[in-house]
Amino acid sequence: MRVGIFHNPYVWRGGEDAVVALEAELLRKAGVEVQLFLLDNRDAQLGTLAGRLRAGLRARGSPEASRRVAEFLAAHPIDVAHVHNFFPLLTPAVHERLHAQGIPVVQTLHNYRLFCANGAFLREGRPCEDCVAAGPWNAVRHACYRGSRVQTAVWAEATAHQRRKRTFERCVTLFTTPSAFARSKLVAAGLDPARIVVKPNPIADPGEPRSGGHGAVYVGRLSEEKGARLLLEAWRELAGLPLTIVGSGPLEAELRALGSRIPGVRFTGQIPPEAVREELRAALFLVAPSICYESFSLVVAEAMAAGKAAIAAHPTAMAELVEPGRTGLHFPSGDAPALARASRELAANPARTEAMGREARARYEDELSPERGVARLLALYQRALGAA
């Protein structure tokens, strides 16, 4: 089988980029011929006004992207295409070109950008699905994309245009998303449930878990939607329970100032992946306090692979990975006192928490291992080929 993977990497490498790289590696190890087509945001100079203007003018569908995809296909014939992020440079021109050449298309929806300007169903620190009912132009008055009405209008116009053309209905063979929670949101927004396959993201095996551990660890972007401020609010009640906060983001300076007044809180900043894995190994449990509708949580899955229990906000896709009382605990999203109570419970019962971690590792091996991941991918491609 010959597979083409199409992806628009982010300026700051994130979970989607890691998933694309890992899946390509796993497919190659399984004997699949993999060709990668990448249009990188960094190459487009999106940090400059000229770069943003060029991207905005091509948001409906980039002729340049279409041309480059055609050249790529001429040099690298493929049987099936797997598209990941296509915003803002690839644009739906990639779907149109692949469809025109008779190639079945699998589209992974890592977020909700087909229906939400910021891709997270989040506004002013709260879940928001207004644009599902009101349409994409509703986002403009709230400046939902990067706080800019102009940039949000670009998304709204391009989204409305593709809906009129029915681009995704015509040109995508199958959609896939990493959780049943995300699938339910996409179906509620109008996607055909028969064409959406749930495929959890695979996680590389970090090796044999380490027993023991001390305190809690948070890994992620230091931003409002990830619940980073909520986390410190909860930790004020925990009387010195160790908490390591791994990552960087727009709230870092503010959170470091707040954390300096809370005993037990330590910040590492942005650190390499192996150092992140070491912080997970050293902790007793993970805290995942996101207030947005995550479609999946790589860090919760990585904690499971490391044999660690997790506390996850509910209802979110993160909670789908965590079975209460078996692999961790849930708390109501946005509820800082409830997060504090759950953290206190795990810290006070280390033997039980370690047992949850062992159960989490077993579930990882059954459901999220590289072997399970590549088997799901191959089944998905065979289904797309059959449907085409």
Distance between CA 252 and CA 232 in Å, rounded? 12
Q: Can you say whether residue 117 is alpha, beta or left, with left for phi > 0 and alpha for psi between -120 and 50 degrees?
A: alpha
For 3-60, the pLDDT digits (tens) are: 999 999 987 677 899 999 999 999 999 999 999 999 976 555 445 544 555 555 567 7
Alpha-carbon torsion angle 25, 30, 33, 35, nearest 10: -20
Q: Strand, helix or coil at 249?
A: coil
For 256-285, the pLDDT digits (tens) are: 999 999 999 999 999 999 999 999 999 999
More confident residue, 212 or 306: 306
At 9 the pLDDT is 92
Query: Please, how many CA atoms are within 13 Å of residue 108, restricted to the half-sphere of its CB?
Result: 25
Q: Residue 137's CB: how many other CB atoms inside 10 A?
A: 14
Q: Are 254 and 85 in contact (CB under 8 A)?
A: no
Distance between CA 52 and CA 292 in Å, rounded? 26
At 88 the pLDDT is 86
For 56-91, the pLDDT digits (tens) are: 556 778 899 999 999 999 999 999 999 999 988 999
pLDDT at 156 over 50: yes
Report domain 2-202+370-387's class.
alpha beta
For 313-361, the pLDDT digits (tens) are: 998 898 899 999 999 999 999 999 999 999 999 999 999 999 999 999 9
Distance between CA 120 and CA 134 in Å, rounded? 16
Q: Which are the contacts of 102, defined by CB distance < 8 A and separation ≥ 6? A: 388
Distance between CA 291 and CA 314 in Å, rounded? 9
Residue 332 sits at φ, ψ, to 5 deg, of: -65, 130
pLDDT band at 369 (very low <50, low <70, confident <90, very high): very high
Distance between CA 252 and CA 262 in Å, rounded? 15
Q: Are 119 and 145 in contact (CB under 8 A)?
A: no
Does the fold of domain 216-367 match that of domain 2-202+370-387? yes
Q: Can you say whether residue 34 is alpha, beta or left, with left for phi > 0 and alpha for psi between -120 and 50 degrees?
A: beta
Alpha helices in 261-335 (DSSP H): 273-282, 298-305, 317-321
The domain limits of the chain are 2-202+370-387, 216-367
Percentage with pLDDT > 70 across the chain = 95
Residue 328 sits at φ, ψ, to 5 deg, of: 155, -155
Strand partners, 80: 3
- pLDDT (average), residues 93-119: 96
Q: Are 61 and 96 in contact (CB under 8 A)?
A: yes
Tokens of residue 29, six digits: 């190890």
Distance between CA 300 and CA 108 in Å, rounded? 20
Q: Are 310 and 280 in contact (CB under 8 A)?
A: no
- pLDDT (average), residues 153-181: 95
Q: Strand, helix or coil at 349?
A: coil
Domain 216-367 has CATH 3.40.50.2000: yes
pLDDT at 236 over 60: yes
Tokens of residue 369, six digits: 């291992």
